[in-house]
Structure 1
Amino acid sequence: MSHKQSAGGLGPPASLQKRIVRLILGILIIIGFIGFLSNIERITGKSEVIQVLQEKDIYVGGWYWDIIDEVAEATDFMRGALKRGNNTSED
């Protein structure tokens, strides 16, 4: 029985040097991807909508958080209504 057969078909583990090189390459790929995404606006050119929002100093993240707050309030209301409904049906 060879080493490959006893290890479930896998070869011997990679050397420490190969594992370190793979780790460094993985980190560099992630850093490159983040760098690319952060500069994609310059690469592709600004859209007119983004440019107008930036010129007017409009924070679009605020719209997102308003919606999140509305959903949270609606969820709390529904939980309260369900609790009241369960309490009245038990009496």
Structure 2
Amino acid sequence: MFMEWIDHKLEQRSWEVLKVCEEENEGLSKRFNDILSELKKVTPESAHNSLYALEEICAQKSLVIMQAYRIGFSDAMKLKSTVLD
């Protein structure tokens, strides 16, 4: 039961951290999307799959941010147990 609660709270907090990161990087994301849109206008149709792949790679950062938060939490728990032992 406790581990389910922890997992739920970690998931909730991970989404909160992701939101903060997205807000902090809003300018960069807009710039990336603007550049991508311009490239789509001037590149041949055959290259659009590569541009979509770049867009997908950029979107994957969300998963990395959430995973990094979980790793940080796990490290903090290990450090806490080391200090208390």
Determine which structure has the larger helix proportion and give its number: 2
Q: Which has the higher contact order (CA 8 A, sep 6+)?
A: 2
* TM-score > 0.5 by shorter chain: no
TM-score interval (norm. to shorter): 0.3 to 0.5
**Structure 1 length as normaliser, TM-score?**
0.39
Q: Which has the larger radius of gyration?
A: 1
